[in-house]
Chains A and B, each alone.
Chain A
Amino acid sequence: MTNPVSRREFLNLLGAYGGTSAVLQAGAALGFMPSSSQAAEISLRANNGKKVAILGTGISALTTAWELTKAGYDCTLLEASHRPGGRMFTVRAGTVIDEIGNYQRCEWDDDPHLYFNAGAARIPSIHSSVLKYCKELEVELQVFVNESKTAWVQDDALNGGKPVRNTDYSSSMQGFVSEMLAKSLGNSEVDSSLTESESETLLGMLRSFGDLNEDMLYKGSVRAGYRSGGFLDHGTKKDVIALRDLLKTRLASNVMVTTQEGTGSGPLLMQPVGGMDRIIYAFANRLGNRIKFRAPVTEVMVKDDGVEVAYEQNGVTEVLKADYCFNCIPSHLMSGIPNNFPTEYTEALNYIRRGKAYKAAFQAKERFWEKENIYGGITWVNAPIQQIWYPPHNIHGKKGVVLAAYNFGGANYTEMSQEDRIEDLLKHGEKVHPNYRQMAEKPMTIAWHRMNHMLGCAPRWARVRGGWSDKEEQMYETLRQPVNGRHYLIGDQSTQHSAWMESAIQSAHYALADLDQRVRSEPA
């Protein structure tokens, strides 16, 4: 494995990237980082009994209801389903997964540690609004482990299909990348643009980052652990995995970037003790009978002085008359609900595409991963199951729930029978853990695209990669303006960073600030 990519080739690559000046330019970027992200302070004017209809009970709706109720508004929440929370959904003993055509009831052991966050599962430390409510509502949090270097990387194209430890993979990749960058320093464009001191700092970092030897070459690292010894005896390093072998799998792009705080993937993440829906029930329990379950909305009519919402409950159609309406019903379901929204508003609603996502999980007879020195984190698999997560909580307990598939897409699973889905996750999982099939009890699957009253996962706005078009920005602004000052669209569909609870909560805060301004400007 000598000279896998020549220095010239590498420099050509740098050149193709547009030279190094852009990278090297000293700039104000350091100053652009916000010092910290703070949750908005919500201070609504106390209001005596204005009526508010809140459609759906996703976290944006619950946030809205909670803040308005505290301020004295009279809120009613209409939920089509039998449970609150939308895509904040935890599966445990007794839970029903109401997927159309694939109804499941969870029959795992009744144990507080045995749960599966089928929707939202991780809270980054910069998601201040989520954390603010966890604190306010006394939802106990614990650390969630997103990356474990002892977890596996499995690809049929790599190592004859046998799994490779994350650390073996990532330390070799880090070593080779560092070696190549170090080689590019010396007499290149990069070097001529750097001062001696900067070069030294960069070289020092590369030596450490890649664990390079005195000659700035990567010859293996103890970071990958020892082949033998290491405690009572001197450790023997493992063999280096050749760069060309590392490049046989495209999983590198997942394995090397699991922990990026800005995108919300760690390294430090949190989860509520006992399941993500603890947040939902913390809200819902406080809101009590303001929530009407199994009450699907059948019509939304915005009037001059309020909003009339028809809904069906126990076979009877009722009409809820309110001063204001906050709506987190997924846009693609609103397309099937009669309403009198303006044309451009409807067009924007119809434009948002419903996202797809698939997850699966099973109760493991034993915590088999711990015998492989794994105590959390993610195994990356080059198959549609994509990821295997190990529970970081209840270490050394008897059983645990393993997330056996997480495909942000997963359209193929949508059409598969439950039996085929289960066979698929077992078949791929046992390439990683030989005893996987024997350990798996009662797998549960969820195709969000087919969930009743949901029919989708995170909404998708941009149709092309690389950003939003002007038209999309315009439609987004249309939906952010309340219809007639009365009807607000909320939820992550009404944000530019969908799929996160933080976005949904911020959409509620944005709408609440608008409402508050209107209320304050009303004559006393």
Chain B
Amino acid sequence: MRNLLTATTLILSAFSISAVQAAEGDVGVEAAMDDRYCTTCHGVEGIGNIAVEAPRLAGMESWYLKRQLENFRAGIRGTHEQDTQGIAMRPMATKLSDESIEDIVGWVGSWEYVPAHTTIEGDINQGRSTFQSCAACHGANAEGNETLGAPALAGQNDWYMVTQLKNFRAGFRGAHPEDTYGSQMLIMSKALRDDQAIINVVSYINTLQK
């Protein structure tokens, strides 16, 4: 075996890069399909990735995903200096064309809905009571309401919802004058008195299934 390898080695030449670099030529051609970078951060089939704080996309409504990608692209979301995760997302969106967004939305739509793992524990009863005002827009089972522009919450990563609620409450998200839906959410989030209230309501959402 050693001899065989040595022979191969001689043929390939230690200084030849071409043997395995051939793949490089056609990466990143600027077509819609090549903007499909999502899974690097958001995980295989968009299951979400806590280690890079990228939320679950599998199961996200197409109209909501489209709006958020457009908001990121336009700087309506992800430009507040305290919105760390949003800032990380924004450069990914700024290069997208309308066609790329359509492609991504279709691609994400092909992934199976997978409820995210639970990572937090709060007072579910307290959360249920708080959720009543959320239900007006997001639905009694947090299933979302397209007419009102309120996305589904059930099944989403709880750590992501906690971050977003904190961001809304602090004005890191939803404060842009053109963020119509975000500004509504910003106002609603003021009803959450403190971080514990956020954890409680998200713990209740964890109990709901799509």
Q: Which residues from chain A sit less than 8 Å from chain B, CB to CB?
A: 46, 69-72, 82-84, 94-96, 98, 100-103, 105, 137-139, 274, 277-278, 281-282, 284-286, 288, 291, 293-294, 296, 298-299, 331-338, 349-350, 352, 354, 414-415, 417, 450, 452-453, 455
Please name the residue on chain A nearest to B92 by beta carbon: A101
Extra 18 A-B pairs, beta carbons < 8 Å, given A285-B14, A294-B23, A415-B90? A69-B1, A101-B91, A102-B91, A103-B30, A274-B15, A278-B14, A278-B15, A281-B16, A286-B5, A288-B19, A296-B39, A296-B44, A298-B45, A332-B49, A333-B40, A333-B51, A334-B51, A337-B43
Cα–Cα distance between A455 and B43 once the two chains are bound (Å):
12
30 A-B residue pairs with CB within 8 Å: A70-B1, A72-B1, A82-B24, A96-B24, A96-B27, A96-B28, A100-B92, A101-B93, A103-B28, A277-B17, A281-B20, A281-B21, A285-B12, A286-B12, A288-B19, A291-B20, A293-B20, A296-B39, A298-B44, A331-B51, A332-B49, A333-B51, A333-B52, A336-B44, A336-B48, A336-B49, A336-B51, A352-B51, A354-B52, A452-B40
Shortest B130–chain A CB gap in Å is 28
- Does B147 sit at the interface, judged by CB under 8 A? no
Instruction: Find out whether the CB atom of A338 lies under 8 angstroms from the CB atom of B44.
Output: yes
Q: How large is the interface on B (under 10, 10 to 19, 20 to 34, 35 or more residues)?
A: 35 or more
Please name the residue on chain B nearest to A69 by beta carbon: B5
- Does B77 sit at the interface, judged by CB under 8 A? no
Which residues in A have their C-beta under 8 angstroms from that of B91? 100-102, 415, 417, 450
- Does B205 sit at the interface, judged by CB under 8 A? no
Instruction: Find out whether the CB atom of B27 lies under 8 angstroms from the CB atom of A82.
Output: yes
Chain A CB within 10 A, most for which of B2, B17, B28, B47: B17
Across the A-B interface, give the 3 residue pairs with the lowest CB-CB distance, nearest first: A336-B43, A336-B49, A101-B91
Please name the residue on chain B nearest to A452 by beta carbon: B40
Instruction: Find out whether the CB atom of A455 lies under 8 angstroms from the CB atom of B94.
Output: no
Which residues in A have their C-beta under 8 angstroms from that of B90? 415
Chain A CB within 10 A, most for which of B41, B51, B88: B51
Please name the residue on chain A nearest to B43 by beta carbon: A336
- Does B54 sit at the interface, judged by CB under 8 A? yes
Shortest B97–chain A CB gap in Å is 13
Shortest B111–chain A CB gap in Å is 12
Instruction: Find out whether the CB atom of B52 lies under 8 angstroms from the CB atom of A83.
Output: no
Which residues in B have their C-beta under 8 angstroms from that of A333? 40, 49, 51-52
Instruction: Find out whether the CB atom of B9 lies under 8 angstroms from the CB atom of A101.
Output: no
Cα–Cα distance between A417 and B95 once the two chains are bound (Å):
11
Which residues in A have their C-beta under 8 angstroms from that of B37? 100-101, 452
Which residues in A have their C-beta under 8 angstroms from that of B27? 82, 96, 98
Which residues in B have their C-beta under 8 angstroms from that of A282? 14
Cα–Cα distance between A54 and B1 once the two chains are bound (Å):
20
Please name the residue on chain B nearest to A273 by beta carbon: B15
Which residues in A have their C-beta under 8 angstroms from that of B20? 84, 281, 284-285, 288, 291, 293
Q: A82-B27, A100-B37, A288-B19 are in contact. Are A139 and B43 (CB under 8 A)?
A: no
Q: Which of B9, B16, B52 contacts A335 (CB 8 A)?
A: B52
- Does B50 sit at the interface, judged by CB under 8 A? yes
Q: Which of B13, B19, B24, B49 contacts A83 (CB 8 A)?
A: B24
Q: A288-B8, A336-B44 are in contact. Are A95 and B94 (CB under 8 A)?
A: no
Cα–Cα distance between A286 and B13 once the two chains are bound (Å):
9
- Does B169 sit at the interface, judged by CB under 8 A? no
Chain B CB within 10 A, most for which of A101, A138, A354: A101
Which residues in A have their C-beta under 8 angstroms from that of B1? 46, 69-72
- Does B87 sit at the interface, judged by CB under 8 A? yes
Please name the residue on chain B nearest to A338 by beta carbon: B44
Q: Which of A70, A293, A331, A450 contacts B23 (CB 8 A)?
A: A293
Which residues in A have their C-beta under 8 angstroms from that of B173? none
Shortest A493–chain B CB gap in Å is 11
Q: Which of B8, B14, B41 contacts A455 (CB 8 A)?
A: B41
Cα–Cα distance between A223 and B14 once the two chains are bound (Å):
43
Cα–Cα distance between A101 and B73 once the two chains are bound (Å):
11
Which residues in A have their C-beta under 8 angstroms from that of B87? 415
Residues from 132 to 158 in B contacting A, C-beta threshold 8 Å? none
Which residues in A have their C-beta under 8 angstroms from that of B166? none
Which residues in B have their C-beta under 8 angstroms from that of A285? 9, 12-14, 16-17, 19-20
Q: A337-B43, A455-B40 are in contact. Are A332 and B17 (CB under 8 A)?
A: no
Shortest A418–chain B CB gap in Å is 10
Instruction: Find out whether the CB atom of A336 lies under 8 angstroms from the CB atom of B88.
Output: no
Cα–Cα distance between A277 and B24 once the two chains are bound (Å):
14
Shortest B25–chain A CB gap in Å is 8
Cα–Cα distance between A110 and B163 once the two chains are bound (Å):
48
Cα–Cα distance between A101 and B88 once the two chains are bound (Å):
10
Cα–Cα distance between A94 and B37 once the two chains are bound (Å):
21
